[in-house]
Structure formats: C-alpha cells, structure tokens
Chains A and B, each alone.
Chain A
C-alpha cells in the first residue's frame, strides 16, 4: 500500500513518520502525475490558504477530485479538513468539495486559544484520544451521508463520508496512531473492493 501525503506546505513529514511506523510506503505529493501512483492521500495541516493556492497553481486540485471520485480514500487534517469541505463558512477560498460538510475556519480562536484535550471517538473503544487543536476549524454542519465520529464542546471534530475522512485536530502530533490506522483500514477496504470488482 502506498499512501501519498500532499507536501505543498505544512506538517507533511509528521504524517509520513506515522504512516511508515504503521508499515505503509509513503510519498510526498507535489505534482499531479504522482496522484496516479498512490492508493490514498492525506492532506495535512498547514495554512489552508497557502495549500489551496499552490494546489490550483500546480494543477493538483482536478487530479485529487478525479481520484477521489474513483474511490481513492482521502483524509484531511485541520487545513486539510477545510480544503476537502463542500463549503467554508464566510469564506471564498479554493476548496476540493469532497465531503458534504461546512467547515468553519479558525473557529476556536487564535493561537493563544489553541488547546489539547481528550476525545471519545466512535469505534475506538473506551480509551480516550489525546487531540491537539491548533487554530483549528470545526465542522459547522454535517450533511447527508456524513458519519460523525467525535465531538468536542458540541462541535464536530472528526467525521467520515464514504472514503473521505476529516479531522479538525492533529493526529500526526501525538504518539497515538489509532486515527491513522482507521484511515489505513479505509484504504485496505477500497483496495479489496477494487480487486473484487476487477474479478
């Protein structure tokens, strides 16, 4: 399994480290051709305006949309959540529109309001997940087909819709690898279903 991490700007190396720890091959994706070589894609945290602009400039947006439509799993964290949303609250910046959610940028406040906390995540059992929120967004509205996986202060911070996952926090900044494992399971499922449909 080869997982791409969008490496235009932000914390892509941290994602790679965890993926490698979990036994995946990884590549840093900077060019559109590379999108054809991967089985899943992580869009990391960083500045969503910066990543969005570079994605348009280097023509990656169309390719990501196409691959996602074909069923390739995509996981957006923080800035990545904003970029995969269908809608961004009070904001016109570029987006991929892969998930039926409305993202709210910098929704918890500025850096002095950034925090870490324990989350109860659906499907992860009793052990809480330590989650780091940095100038984080949240999911203001989750539309049809979206499965809410975790909330903090009544706000949606982790969700899934089919092969697309979004986290408002940074699973790549802690040692807990369970969220990445969830995403890898998603990629495995999608690879298996491709194989069986090919038969």
Chain B
C-alpha cells in the first residue's frame, strides 16, 4: 500500500539535505545563483532577515507569486516561512506545493502561546530551537527537522554557537542520567517524556538538526559542523555580501570538508566583503528574534 506524508517520508527529506547548505533567496535570479553554487535547498523569502531587522514593522509569509517563481526557477527543494502559530499561512504554503515549511521566529509571531500543529500537515516542517527542551516540544508538535536559532540577520555567529552547544550539552547530560531521573528532567526541560526517553537512548535528536542565525563565512559553517550540526542555513550572509556566488560556493565546500583545514583555507581566499553584520551584544532584548517561540 502506498502512503504519503508519513513521518518517515517527512523526516527523510531532511536526511537528504544533510551535509548541505540551505540558502535564503528573495528572487528567482538569486535562487539560480544558490543552485549553481551547490545549495541543497533554498528558502524563498520577501526579505532576508537583515532587511527584516532594518525595516521593522510586521514580517509575514512571502507573497505566493514570489514563492512560485522561485519554485519554477530551480530543481532543488524550495522551503518557505510562515509565522509562529499562523496555521493558515502554513495551509497556503502547503497548497502551493513548497517542499518544507519553516515556522520561523524571523517573521513576527501570530500567536503568543501556541505553535502550529504540524502533525496535521502532509508537508514537513522545520522549527527553531535554542535548547533540547524547545527542540523536543517542536518535534512533539510534528516538526520533522530542527535548526538551532542563533540570532538571524546579524552575521554574528556567537548565538548560533551558544544554541548548538546548549543542545549538545543537554543531550550529553541526559545520556548520563539514571532512568529514575528522566521524568524530572523532562519536567524541567518542559519536553515530552517519550521524546526524552528516545534521546537518552539514541544520544541524538530524533530528527536532523541544522545550524542557523549568524553564519557568514566558510569558517563559521565549519565551526557549526564541528560542533555537531547536520547542515547549515545561511540567511543574509550570502546575498548581503560583496560576491554572493563565490561566497555561496565556498560555504558549500566548507560544509562538506568541515574537518579539513587545508580545504577551508583554500576556499576562504578572496571572497570579497562579508556582510557588515551587527554585534549581537548590542541588540536590545525586545529585538532578539531568538526569544520568539514558546
């Protein structure tokens, strides 16, 4: 019997993206540049996070016209973002046929308490997380892929590092707990108990985990891979830099050869200006996108 939208099928696409780079694009031309550089998928947006941050106001799902044009322009998977809790934006994106939905803190949240019930959809979802508890809550709601949040639109990798270390250290700690302590761990983490058991046994998240939010150079990408993520999201870091095509290609190579300093040195040469960036420590709490999500 044939079945669509099963957990294995949803999770499976994320498995195929592993070791790759997913790039934010706002036009079909950018999508083609990303594909030519070796991106394993693109995220179709109206504005990259750095511009969302600069413009202010309410950030929403992109115009379907833009998403459809990008889907037409490339053969690699196309993802798109909906607001946290905005299940109608998600329904619209599913009907457009996007390959993955990112329920994203980069957009202005539509619900201050609840996320989308992602189990109700045939299309798979990716969600942001800063620690193990948040990751497992999202997986409990049906997310088939996780990305650590970092601080989007900054080009400053410090928060991405912090969140990846947090998730990995939570997992290591969990693995060393005796069984009788797991329920209290689940309670403290505000994480579903069955998923806590699963992680304690497997020693890793039950789904693929990418790094995001502030990655701007090949070295940044390799750093996140060495810290244990499965792949890389680059938002503003490529198309806000001096030579997007070259930088995109270099970040792809760095993600594959993340353990090989010689290759990393080679691909880091002559990349032109990186995105200017914002030092995360200068961002007021209210403007921190990573705090969105419940």
Contact surface of A with B, Cβ cutoff 8 Å: 7-14, 30, 45-47, 49-50, 53-54, 57-58, 78-79, 91, 105-106, 110-118, 132-135, 170, 173-174
Chain A CB within 10 A, most for which of B8, B9, B17, B98: B9
Instruction: Report chain B residues within 8 Å CB of A14.
Output: 15
Nearest chain B residue, comparing its CB with the CB of A105: B75
In the complex, whether B234 has a CB less than 8 A from a CB of chain A is no
Q: How far is the CA of A114 from the CA of B98 in the complex (A)?
A: 12
CB of B100 within 8 A of CB of A111, answer: yes
CB within 8 A of A115: which of B2, B13, B124? B2
* Interchain CB contact under 8 A, A10 and B9: no
Q: In the assembled complex, which residues on chain A have CB atoms less than 8 Å from the CB atom of B54?
A: none
B contact set with A: CB distance below 8 Å: 1-6, 8-9, 12-13, 15-20, 35, 37-41, 75-77, 94, 97-100, 122-124, 252-253, 255-257, 260
**Residue from B16, B37, B252 with most neighbouring chain A CB atoms (10 Å):** B16
- Whether B13 and A111, one on each chain, are in contact in the complex, defined by CB atoms closer than 8 angstroms, is yes
In the complex, how many angstroms separate the beta carbon of B198 from the nearest chain A beta carbon?
Answer: 16
Kindly provide the distance from the CB of B258 to the nearest chain A CB, expressed in whole angstroms: 10
If A8-B256, A9-B40, A13-B18 touch, whether A173 touches B8 (CB-CB below 8 Å) is yes
B40 and A111 contacting across the interface, CB-CB below 8 Å: no
Q: Looking across the interface, which residue of chain B has its beta carbon closest to that of A79? A: B16
A9, A110, A116, A118: which contacts B18 (Cβ < 8 A)? A9
Residue of B12, B41, B77, B97 with most chain A CB atoms under a 10 A cut-off: B12
Residue of B nearest to A130 (CB): B8
Complex: how many Å from CA A11 to CA B20? 10
Give Cα distance in the complex from A78 to B257, angstroms.
Answer: 23
Q: Are A57 and B19 in contact (CB under 8 A)?
A: no
- CB pair B40–A47 under 8 Å, yes or no, is yes
* Other-chain residue from B15, B75, B99, B260 in contact with A111 (beta carbon distance below 8 A): B99
Which of chain A's residues have a CB closer than 8 A to the CB of B256? 7-9, 30, 54
Sample (22) of A-B pairs whose CB atoms are under 8 Å apart: A9-B19, A9-B20, A13-B18, A47-B39, A47-B40, A49-B38, A50-B38, A50-B40, A53-B37, A54-B252, A54-B253, A57-B253, A110-B77, A111-B100, A115-B9, A116-B3, A116-B9, A117-B3, A132-B12, A170-B12, A173-B8, A173-B12
